[in-house]
A and B are shown apart, each in its own frame.
Chain A
Amino acid sequence: MNVARIAALLGLALTGYAGSGMAADPIAIGISIAQSPPGSVVQGTQVKDAVEIVKDMVNAKGGVLGRQIKLIYEDNQGIPEKGRAAAEKLITKDKVVAIAGGHQSSVCLAEIEVAHRYNNPYINTNCWSDDVRKKGYPEVFNPANYNTRVSSAMTDTIIAMGVKSVVAFAENTDYGIGQAKITGEMLKARAPGVSYKYETVDRAGKDFTPAILPLRANPPEMVITIMLPPAAYIVMNQLYEQGVAPSAKTWLYDGSGLADYPDFWQNVKEAGKYMVSFALYHPQMATPKIGLDVAAEYLKRTKNEPNRLIFQAADSLLLIVDAIKEAKSTDSAAIIKALQTMKFSGVRGPFQFGKQPGYGYQQWVDIPYVNYQLTEVNQPISKTNLIQAPGQALDVKKLVRPAK
């Protein structure tokens, strides 16, 4: 064998080696979201925007374990059966190493059954129902907010404001009914003097006036909304139209974080002025550099201000990436073990998952929140009246009542 032939063979071998390295299979991660009605396409779009930003950031830095990440989207339409089928397809056909993106509780509850059956890691992006945690599935991790957290916060607010009668409008979903019930239980235990009742309303409904009209004669001191758009917007508009809330007699308190949806003011106008809101994001909250980077990129790409869902979705994907790094493997069991033990620092700050059974199982238990009040129409979140900073007590004196 002469020198030229040896050199040629070596060259071929090296080329082949380099080629196989360059073409290393990307790591597939499943994203199950609503991309078409009747699910919340608004939320699905925000989740997609955020995970795309994180994917690009991770891949620009060389990926993870030397491999790029690839996101495979499935449209669950907000329907539990479709979510179950989506999870089945992502795990068995697409061979994803983990699933994220879930943003509607009823769908998450269906999908986690599949993830549990296949021992596939599942990151819950935005399903608030406590039942997702109470199942106690070791595959399911919850960087998202949860109903007990919101109910506890709302109960604190109601007590601090000295409100004695509350009516809640809750959408007829696992999230809505669950939230309304827990709030009732907490009020009964911690403020038994407060009269509380809730009305379940259809999230596809268009006329809520018959549920609102009886409140005109006997207005409560507070109306709470536990609903998603667009039904939440319609309820707010009809509450305002009937002069029920916000009014001099009745506070309007939103427990769903409505005000940070990009279409909020276009859809509610005057009906949103004076609304008090529970929220998981406010520009005055401390945000790490990676969070600021994601926020800036989101603003650049969409021209919308970031909101809590953007950060939750970003953290969902970063969690998977960090767990793969920590585990040095894409094996499901290794990723799950890493997620259970690692200390994660994401776009909303550092946290670790809880281990207590119940609503705190594999949950970011102390997820930070704020309360603020909207005092002008078209007010950006950064200009709202922050009445409760994270970890602080609610400052009732800052609240502004409507004149009539």
Chain B
Amino acid sequence: MLALDLLVNGLIFGLFYALMAVGLAMIFGVLKVVNFAHGEFYMIGSYAYVLIALKLGIPPWLALPLAALTGGALGWLVERLLMRPLYAGHGSWSSSKDEYAVVVTFGLSLLLVNLVDKIVGPYPFRGPVLIETSRFSIGPVMLNGQKLIAAGVSLCLLIGLALFIKRSLWGRQIQAVAQNRLGASLAGIDATRTTSMVFVISGMMAALAGALLAPLINPGPDVGAFPAIKSYVIVVLGGMGSIWGGMAAALILGVCESFFAVYVSYAYRDAFGLMLLILVLLVRPQGMFGEKGREL
């Protein structure tokens, strides 16, 4: 019974991890840089959801897409104002693009955390639930409604994103730019617009993860740090830039952490993810699902 509880809890948190990490994987896939402000997209999504619902009195089901739009808008702005110099006609900058990306995204992360801290305040806010249900049990597994709904929405979003990338024209354009930016441009794909789209999607996904979890994790200004670290681990475990690998790694990490916490040591649960990361890098540097390199 305990094992089933752990499996369900691990899968649910794995879905949350996946929703968070997928945007990071996409950005790495397209730009080959790490967005260190990714956790703050999540934080902005949490706050947008909570403030829209609690302060403006808008129903939570409407606040959820509005939070996603906020994250998407932030992603678009970040790409347009901060990331475009990496690839759009700034030759001297792009020669040290890794350093530029680290500095600019890390600075953005600190800026956003401190802005929210000063403007909204330091107190954590628990977001409103999407559906008012008391705790309930399905067989031996005890759940609350919000957790189940958040997991369900996350699963739908991940499947939707996977289909979008695989089947849609824009999704194929993203795949093309990720594989070869110059080649995609020569084939007539607007790589700049595609990159912009990737940042919008990444911002929306992270913001949705933050909004869905806002009733469960009591977000404060620094709420993004924890999921961001998990996301970095997942992206490397799954294979840098691989969406599918990232999703699988998130679920594996969620379940493994859950079991490790109970059967080995709760205190070292987070260290387990990092141990796994080191192990995978030693044995399989391209990540668990990294055969296809940085394909999307």
Shortest A171–chain B CB gap in Å is 11
B122, A42: Cβ atoms closer than 8 Å? yes
B126, A206: Cβ atoms closer than 8 Å? no
With a CB–CB cut-off of 8 A, which chain A residues contact B113? Answer: 36-37
With a CB–CB cut-off of 8 A, which chain B residues contact A200? Answer: 266-267
Complex-state Cα separation, A333 to B108, whole angstroms: 45
Q: Is B281 located at the chain interface by the 8 A CB criterion?
A: no
Complex-state Cα separation, A172 to B270, whole angstroms: 13
Q: Is A269 located at the chain interface by the 8 A CB criterion?
A: yes
Shortest A168–chain B CB gap in Å is 13
A210, B122: Cβ atoms closer than 8 Å? no
Q: Is B11 located at the chain interface by the 8 A CB criterion?
A: no
Q: Is B180 located at the chain interface by the 8 A CB criterion?
A: no
Of chain A, the residue at the smallest CB distance from B257 is A210
A210, B217: Cβ atoms closer than 8 Å? no
Complex-state Cα separation, A240 to B223, whole angstroms: 22
A266, B125: Cβ atoms closer than 8 Å? yes
Complex-state Cα separation, A270 to B144, whole angstroms: 13
With a CB–CB cut-off of 8 A, which chain A residues contact B147? Answer: 241
Assuming the A-B contacts A230-B218, A263-B124, are A214 and B2 also in contact, with contact meaning beta carbons closer than 8 angstroms in the complex?
A: yes
B258, A36: Cβ atoms closer than 8 Å? no
Which residues of chain A (53-93) have a CB below 8 Å from chain B?
A: none
Q: Is A339 located at the chain interface by the 8 A CB criterion?
A: no
A206, B225: Cβ atoms closer than 8 Å? no
Q: Is B167 located at the chain interface by the 8 A CB criterion?
A: no
With a CB–CB cut-off of 8 A, which chain B residues contact A175? Answer: none
With a CB–CB cut-off of 8 A, which chain A residues contact B216? Answer: 206, 234, 237
Of chain A, the residue at the smallest CB distance from B129 is A269
Assuming the A-B contacts A41-B122, A204-B226, are A210 and B266 also in contact, with contact meaning beta carbons closer than 8 angstroms in the complex?
A: yes
Which residues of chain B (253-282) have a CB below 8 Å from chain A?
A: 257-258, 261-262, 266-267, 269-270
Partner of B126, one of A38, A45, A266: A266
B123, A262: Cβ atoms closer than 8 Å? yes
Of chain B, the residue at the smallest CB distance from A263 is B123
Complex-state Cα separation, A122 to B188, whole angstroms: 68
Q: Is A15 located at the chain interface by the 8 A CB criterion?
A: no
Which residues of chain A (237-264) have a CB below 8 Å from chain B?
A: 237, 240-243, 262-263
Complex-state Cα separation, A230 to B269, whole angstroms: 19
A202, B270: Cβ atoms closer than 8 Å? yes
Of chain A, the residue at the smallest CB distance from B121 is A45
With a CB–CB cut-off of 8 A, which chain B residues contact A292? Answer: none
Partner of A234, one of B142, B218, B221, B257: B218
Q: Is A293 located at the chain interface by the 8 A CB criterion?
A: no
Q: Is A267 located at the chain interface by the 8 A CB criterion?
A: yes
Which residues of chain B (103-127) have a CB below 8 Å from chain A?
A: 113-114, 117, 121-126
With a CB–CB cut-off of 8 A, which chain B residues contact A172? Answer: 267
Interface size class of A (residues with CB under 8 A): 35 or more
A267, B267: Cβ atoms closer than 8 Å? no
Q: Is A205 located at the chain interface by the 8 A CB criterion?
A: yes
A206, B117: Cβ atoms closer than 8 Å? no
Shortest A44–chain B CB gap in Å is 7
Complex-state Cα separation, A172 to B147, whole angstroms: 26
With a CB–CB cut-off of 8 A, which chain B residues contact A3? Answer: none
Q: Is A229 located at the chain interface by the 8 A CB criterion?
A: yes
Q: How many residues of B contact A (CB 8 A)?
A: 41
Complex-state Cα separation, A186 to B142, whole angstroms: 35
Q: Is B90 located at the chain interface by the 8 A CB criterion?
A: no
With a CB–CB cut-off of 8 A, which chain A residues contact B257? Answer: 210
Q: Is A327 located at the chain interface by the 8 A CB criterion?
A: no
A267, B125: Cβ atoms closer than 8 Å? yes
B262, A206: Cβ atoms closer than 8 Å? no
Interface string of B148-174 (1 = CB under 8 A from A): 000000000000000000000000000
Q: Is B246 located at the chain interface by the 8 A CB criterion?
A: no
Complex-state Cα separation, A124 to B72, whole angstroms: 45
With a CB–CB cut-off of 8 A, which chain A residues contact B5? Answer: 213, 216
A233, B267: Cβ atoms closer than 8 Å? no
With a CB–CB cut-off of 8 A, which chain B residues contact A379? Answer: none
With a CB–CB cut-off of 8 A, which chain B residues contact A36? Answer: 113-114, 117
Shortest A42–chain B CB gap in Å is 5
Partner of B269, one of A210, A214, A237, A267: A210
With a CB–CB cut-off of 8 A, which chain B residues contact A267? Answer: 124-126, 218
B124, A204: Cβ atoms closer than 8 Å? no
Shortest B254–chain A CB gap in Å is 9
Shortest A333–chain B CB gap in Å is 37
Complex-state Cα separation, A240 to B215, whole angstroms: 14
Q: Is B29 located at the chain interface by the 8 A CB criterion?
A: no
Q: Is B23 located at the chain interface by the 8 A CB criterion?
A: no
Shortest A36–chain B CB gap in Å is 6
Interface string of A289-326 (1 = CB under 8 A from B): 00000000000000000000000000000000000000
Q: Is A396 located at the chain interface by the 8 A CB criterion?
A: no
Complex-state Cα separation, A243 to B136, whole angstroms: 9
Of chain B, the residue at the smallest CB distance from A172 is B267
With a CB–CB cut-off of 8 A, which chain B residues contact A44? Answer: 122
Q: List 29 A-B contacts (CB under 8 A).
A: A36-B114, A37-B222, A41-B220, A45-B122, A199-B266, A199-B267, A200-B267, A206-B217, A206-B223, A206-B227, A210-B6, A210-B261, A210-B269, A211-B266, A213-B5, A214-B2, A216-B5, A217-B2, A230-B218, A230-B220, A233-B124, A240-B135, A241-B135, A266-B126, A267-B125, A267-B218, A268-B126, A269-B126, A270-B134
Excluding A37-B113, A41-B220, A213-B6, 18 further A-B contacts by CB distance (< 8 Å) are A200-B266, A200-B267, A201-B266, A206-B216, A206-B227, A207-B9, A207-B13, A210-B6, A210-B258, A210-B269, A229-B218, A233-B218, A237-B216, A237-B218, A243-B142, A263-B124, A263-B125, A268-B126
Give the B-binding residues of A (Cβ under 8 A).
36-38, 41-42, 44-45, 172, 199-202, 204-207, 209-211, 213-214, 216-217, 229-230, 233-234, 237, 240-243, 262-263, 266-270
Give the A-binding residues of B (Cβ under 8 A).
1-2, 5-6, 9, 13, 113-114, 117, 121-126, 134-135, 142-144, 147, 213, 216-223, 225-227, 257-258, 261-262, 266-267, 269-270
Leading 4 A-B pairs by shortest Cβ distance: A41-B122, A37-B222, A210-B261, A230-B124
